[in-house]
Amino acid sequence: RKQTSLDMYDYFTGPRDIQKHSKWPLILQMHGSITPKLIVPLLIAGGWASAVTVITMKVYSLRVDSVLLTILGFVVGLSLSFRSTTAYERYAEGRRYWGMLIMASQTLGRTFWIHAEDPKGQDPRETLLQKISAMNLIVAFSVSLKHALRFEPYSAYPDLQYLIGHLNTFAKEATLADPNVTSIKRKNIFKSTGEYLGVSFATSNPRKLLKKTDRPLGNLPLEILSHLAILIDRMSANDQLPVPMQQTVAYNHLIMMNDVMVGCERVLNTPLPIAYTIAISQITFIYVMLLPFQLVGPLEWIAIPATIAAGYIIFGLLFIGQEIENPFGHDVNDLPLEIYCDQIAHDLDIIAAYDKREPDSFLL
């Protein structure tokens, strides 16, 4: 599971793996930096600054006193700060929900594997099989949540199919009806370059898959919760959880999973109100576009690199905010949901590896 090689594809997409360590000083690191998204805007700003400067120096003075810059600088700064804070808040909240999910999965796993007593009179091999099935259901929840947060509503994804293929879900029916739907189409080079550069015209609607179909897609994580609910009901009815508090733990963490699901959907579907997003984009754009008029007076030719430097800083902060606002996607700075899903599976393996002995054996 530890993948440390850094190939080209990884470099530009997918959440960055926290385990990678770079020996370069931070100011020189490229992987994860927002620089690629800035190429187009900086080309525009640079061209504009050059035009203004050349015209001023050669043709006709477009110089304007810089009083406005000072006045608006403060509002621009606070807008960027607002943009960063609210985007980062979403990122942190998304992460906190996945932390809760890891916790709930571990606790539920411990409930199924350690707290729960084996049903009486059942073949031990069957019991073992059922326990493993139950553990898989827990993993399936996190994997299906990952897909749901990426607007992938089907069931036949390689990391999901073997976990829930046997369950009777809306997603399965929709997948069976159109088996090609989960095969990812190769994007043409223009489109993917455009997306990589952040050109809005090249970006498809991320909810495309949800809209294309007329079949009911259901809500896969919610349906898995229903299965887990039945499982816990049965365990309680069968007296497999003899201490009442064990039942409480089971139900509480089922609900915590539900909470995680609803919370992640909230983070996903509630960006900063669009009026703010538009206004802040406009403010920073206007500010940078007005820069060369006011810089060309005091700085002359240096106004061109100065505008680009200022644009780099200002657009940089703006674009990072827009990227991490939805922390569940495939951007380099997004949360590594795959790694979290792997960790849940790994931790459940550790819990299940535990040979349930009497405490007398380890209480010396």
Instruction: Give the shortest CB-189-to-its own copies separation in angstroms.
Output: 19
- Reported for 206-210, long-range contacts at CB under 8 A and 24+ positions apart, including other chains, are 206/150, 206/151, 206/329, 207/151, 208/151, 209/151, 209/152, 209/153, 209/154, 209/181, 210/151, 210/153
Q: Kindly tell me which of 50 and 297 has the beta carbon lying closer to its own copies.
A: 297
Q: Determine which residue in the list 73, 177, 193, 330 makes contact with its own copies, applying CB under 8 A.
A: 73
- List Cβ<8 Å contacts ≥24 apart for 112-121: 112/138, 112/235, 113/351, 113/352, 113/354, 113/356, 114/351, 114/354, 114/356, 115/241, 115/243, 115/246, 115/249, 116/235, 116/240, 116/241, 116/246, 117/239, 117/240, 117/241, 117/242, 118/240, 119/238, 119/240
Residues 104 to 143: which contact its own copies by CB under 8 A? Answer: 106-107, 110, 114-115, 129-130, 133-134
Question: Judged by CB under 8 A, does residue 362 bind its own copies?
Answer: yes
Rounded to 5 degrees, φ, ψ at 181 are -70, -25
Please identify, using beta-carbon distances, which residue of 189 and 243 lies nearer to its own copies.
243
249 binds its own copies (CB under 8 A): yes
d(CA 108, CA 124): 21
- Site membership for its own copies, residue 245 (CB under 8 A): yes
294 is a contact residue toward its own copies (CB under 8 A): yes
Binding pattern for the stretch 192-231 against its own copies, x by CB under 8 A and - elsewhere? --------xx-xxxxx--xx------xx--xx-xxx-xxx
Where does this chain touch its own copies (CB under 8 A) — which range of 14-22, 52-60, 141-149, 184-192? Answer: 14-22
Least distance from C-beta 163 to its own copies, angstroms? 11
* Contact call for residue 103 and its own copies (CB under 8 A): yes
| CB closer to its own copies, 54 vs 68 | 68
CA distances from 157 to 78, 125, 327 (A): 43, 29, 21
Whole-number Å distance between alpha carbons of 110 and 116: 8
Give me the 342-361 binding string for its own copies, x by CB under 8 A, dash otherwise. ----xx--xx-xxxxxxxx-
Query: By CB under 8 A, which span of 46-54, 172-180, 185-193, 248-256 interacts with its own copies?
Result: 248-256
Between 274-299 and 303-324, two packed helices, what is the crossing angle to 10 degrees? Answer: 170
Examine residue 51 and tell whether it contacts its own copies (CB under 8 A).
no
Number of chain positions touching its own copies (CB under 8 A): 153
For the beta carbon of residue 136, count every other beta carbon within 10 angstroms: 16
Dist CA 267 CA 296 (whole Å): 43
Per rule CB under 8 A, is residue 6 in the interface with its own copies?
no
- On whether the CB atoms of residues 223 and 170 are closer than 8 A, the answer is yes
Least distance CB 51 / its own copies (angstroms): 18
CB of 84 to its own copies, least distance (A): 6
Residues in 303-342 at the binding interface with its own copies, rule: CB under 8 A: 306, 309-310, 312-314, 316-317, 320, 322-324, 332-333, 335
139-178: contacts with its own copies (CB under 8 A): 166-168, 170
